[in-house]
Structure 1
Amino acid sequence: MGFKCGIIGLPNVGKSSLFNALVGLQKAASENYPFCTIEPNVGKVPIPDNRLLKLSQVNNSKITINAQMEFVDIAGLVKGASKGEGLGNKFLSNIREVDAIAHVVRCFEDKNVSHIHNKIDPEYDVEIIESELLLSDIEKAENIIGKINKLIKSGKNEFIEEKNLFDRVLNDLKSSDTHNLYNYSKEEINTINKNGLLSFKPVMYVANLDENSIKSGNIYNEKLVLLSKEKKIPIVNISAKIEEELSGIKNIEEKKELMKSMDISQSSLDQFISSGFKLLNLVTFFTSGEKETKAWTIKKESFAPDAAGKIHTDFKKGFIAADVISTHKLIELGGEKKAKLSGSIRTEGKDYIVQDGDVILFKFNV
């Protein structure tokens, strides 16, 4: 599995067009009126990886399976969404389970596409969305604390530590200094994320530009870049209109020619993947043999048993060891059989930290 990314933003900023481009499907109704996306659109797309195909070829695999990324396109949020305005809080709940948030911000003028506030102002748009996420999280945190208090009153004192954590979370959410949201340990963030708070999730800005500004940018994009630097949030520049057009072209060579004429070196999906991997600290490892070659994603600094658990929970429970070789080395040697003969495959134990590009055969006992 890859990771799940929620696409959010105000109405009519290009979220659904971007979703269509990413998934390559016309699932979302990209119409020029607010709230055209009523139910969340969910799409899974394969993550392209040149190493995967080469690995499959040298091992003569019958099946090749990419890791996947899941996108969730949420209805446009408006000021007051956390209190039920627009389509309300229901749609915030649709992204509570995602791993990362792609915040699409309108950086283009188009008289044929209305703006909900009748002006193009990226900074104000960002402020609205981030405020709604924050207000929604305050309500969520208050509810969590209320439930924990009931558990403690019933004698379950093991929840005291968790209560202290969410008391701190609530205070930080109510504070005007959002920098406090970054002062949590990895374990604390895991607990917070399990409870679905949005303000603690990794975020990237997606600046949606018009076709003429995608290369050089414009004044709106420049404002968003400055804001991203100030907040230390990564930013990806995209023209959702161009990308949606490209997604409708099935002929690869024709698509390449059009991209070349537009001076586009990467598709939006490629940009999302590179930004997403960096944002989430992910690495890719592979399992490969004659039956199949498959790519998997896992957090950096994960141990071998955790990687085994990605394949099947029994693999983690009964983990014995892992036979490991780098993709580069395996391809260089010409496949698994030659790698074994050369003695290049090493055996690692439960304390081994999985590296990007590792090809792994797990040994386990159930």
Structure 2
Amino acid sequence: MLRQTFGTSLRPSFSSRLFHQSSACLKKPAAKKPATKKKGKGAEKKLLLGRPSNNLKGGIVGLANVGKSSLFQAISKSHLGNPANYPFATIDPEEARVIVPSERFDKLCDIYKPGNAVPATLTLFDIAGLVKGASKGEGLGNAFLANIRAVDGLFQVVRAFDDPEITHIEGSIDPTRDLQIVTHELLEKDYEFVLRALEAAERAVKAAGSQKNSMALTDRKFEQSLCEKLLEHIGEGKKVYHGDWTNDEIRFINTLTLLTAKPTAYIANVSFADYEAFVKAGNNLDNIKYLSSIRNWIDENSPGDLLVPVCVEYEVRLFESSEIGEELDTASTVQSAIGPAISSLRKALNLISFFTGSPREVREWTIRQGSTAPEAAGVIHGDLEKTFIVAQVTKFDDVISHKGDETSLKSGGKIANKGKDYEMEDADCVIFKAANGKK
């Protein structure tokens, strides 16, 4: 099947490109943008796909009726969402700010016994379920896909348990089929987004044709060539997130807010028996029904992405029992998977933490990996970044071993002064010094 596009050109649709690729087709290399002069020493820092923000949002996605809303309630410890045993129980996305479980934060609170304790949080959305054909308007269609476009990372939930009492929209339990359906719909929509961007670039190149040596023409040709490269990448069934892109390519890709450019952590919704067996086997996926096939699918189609088995039914029971002050008999031996699940999405989003601590307040702050000391200071207050002088950095383990005693840390040489080029490391404990006495 061919799709009519800009002008008189004909280009293959996503489906035809994915399933009928010609072995004779040669990959067209993307045009290289002219090198820009870099300020300071060293090479340019590798950019990340997605919004350049520390306040990133996650969305829970998957086929309809696989346990997304129940998981959302368990994670958010609320009764938001609409879990029900039928598809499309959720229509409009629900939002909740969830506390990030953190043993490091708890240890600092034990040491300082602060008057105020502020943990890190992550904003999550419960997004309506997807069905096959969503990219063409089936089910909740484009509304669902627009909601995914608005978040920065995904929890993709897949059903991995048997229960004839709970309906499955496809009529049978097949996790790898379900994973493929969701991925195909996201790729299909991205193909359409990139095709529109390509048409716009072609029109711009044509309009600027008389300006032979203009920077605008060079930029539009770069975008045109990159769109062709993206179409080929997506047409091969590959997520944009797993492509090898240059910084200039990433800058343009980020303007497109593509669905498959978002990092994903996979949640396998398993039975309690399988989850208990997984825990007792030392978190070993082998011999647990469906988990090995899911892991193999991820390794092939989304290499490097994390898989977290969760028994959503059990998590809901843990939440409900805590509300009434009771403890399940299994709580001491089969612990919640919510902490690892949240941590997996933070890791996928390239988020790390730093701490500020004193008897007055202990707070865990969230930044993106690769953030400099001034950028981290700016998360606390914008003026701290503008007037940054120095960061006094102590490693978390040193704070713990010295029980937070500043005099002991100083005499032991554990507090290091770091300048504006210092790249923050996960779990740094920091005091920022700035002009005008701000700190």
TM-score by length of 1: 0.89
Q: Which residue of 2 aligns with 1:103?
A: 156
Q: How do 1:281-320 residues align onto structure 2 when only pairs under 5 Å count?
A: 281-320=350-389
2:341 paired with 1:272:
yes
Q: How do 1:114-125 residues align onto structure 2 when only pairs under 5 Å count?
A: 114-125=167-178
- Decide whether aligned partners of structure 1 residues 179 and 143 sit closer, same or farther in structure 2, where only a CA change above 3 A counts: closer
Q: Distance in 1 between matches of 2:146 and 2:88?
A: 16
Q: How do 1:53-202 residues align onto structure 2 when only pairs under 5 Å count?
A: 53-148=106-201, 153=207, 156-157=216-217, 159-160=219-220, 161-176=222-237, 181-185=242-246, 188-189=249-250, 191-202=252-263
Q: Distance in 1 between matches of 2:246 and 2:324?
A: 45
Match of 1:228 among 298, 308, 323: 298
| Mean CA deviation greater in 48-57 or 195-204 | 48-57
Q: Is the 8 A contact 1:3 1:99 kept in 2?
A: yes
2:398 paired with 1:345:
no
2:411 paired with 1:360:
no
Deviation (angstroms), 1:309: 2.4
Q: Is the 8 A contact 1:63 1:291 kept in 2?
A: yes
Higher radius of gyration, 1 or 2: 2
SS at match of 1:7: strand
Q: Is the 8 A contact 1:193 1:201 kept in 2?
A: no
Q: Is the 8 A contact 2:63 2:129 kept in 1?
A: yes
- Decide whether aligned partners of structure 1 residues 323 and 218 sit closer, same or farther in structure 2, where only a CA change above 3 A counts: closer
Structure 2 runs not aligned, ≥5 long: 1-53, 278-286
Deviation (angstroms), 1:288: 2.2
2:85 paired with 1:32:
yes
SS at match of 2:63: coil
TM-score by length of 2: 0.75
Q: Distance in 2 between matches of 1:12 and 1:304?
A: 44
Match of 1:327 among 389, 393, 396: 396
Q: Distance in 2 between matches of 1:170 and 1:73?
A: 30
Deviation (angstroms), 1:332: 2.6
Q: Is the 8 A contact 2:239 2:261 kept in 1?
A: no
One-letter code aligned to 1:198 = L
Deviation (angstroms), 1:298: 2.1
Deviation (angstroms), 1:257: 4.3
Q: Which residue of 2 aligns with 1:249?
A: 321
The count of corresponding residues between Structure 1 and Structure 2 is 363
SS at match of 1:215: helix
Deviation (angstroms), 1:69: 1.4
Q: Which residue of 2 aligns with 1:205?
A: 266
SS at match of 1:249: helix
Deviation (angstroms), 1:339: 4.7
SS at match of 1:228: helix
Q: Distance in 2 between matches of 1:188 and 1:253?
A: 53
Deviation (angstroms), 1:314: 2.8
* Structural RMSD (CA): 2.7
One-letter code aligned to 2:266 = Y
Q: Is the 8 A contact 1:339 1:345 kept in 2?
A: no
Structure 1 runs not aligned, ≥5 long: none
One-letter code aligned to 1:205 = Y
Q: Which residue of 2 aligns with 1:214?
A: 275
One-letter code aligned to 1:358 = D
Match of 1:12 among 57, 65, 77: 65
Q: Is the 8 A contact 1:106 1:120 kept in 2?
A: yes
Q: Distance in 2 between matches of 1:248 and 1:22?
A: 12
Q: Is the 8 A contact 1:108 1:209 kept in 2?
A: yes
- Decide whether aligned partners of structure 1 residues 64 and 190 sit closer, same or farther in structure 2, where only a CA change above 3 A counts: farther
Percent same amino acid among aligned pairs? 36
SS at match of 1:98: coil
Q: Distance in 2 between matches of 1:80 and 1:180?
A: 22
- Decide whether aligned partners of structure 1 residues 314 and 143 sit closer, same or farther in structure 2, where only a CA change above 3 A counts: farther
- Decide whether aligned partners of structure 1 residues 140 and 248 sit closer, same or farther in structure 2, where only a CA change above 3 A counts: same
One-letter code aligned to 1:333 = H
Match of 2:98 among 18, 39, 45: 45
- Decide whether aligned partners of structure 1 residues 176 and 53 sit closer, same or farther in structure 2, where only a CA change above 3 A counts: closer
CA offsets, 1:298-327, max 9 Å, x none?
A: 233322122122223332233222111122
Larger RCO (CA under 8 A, 6+ residues apart) = 1
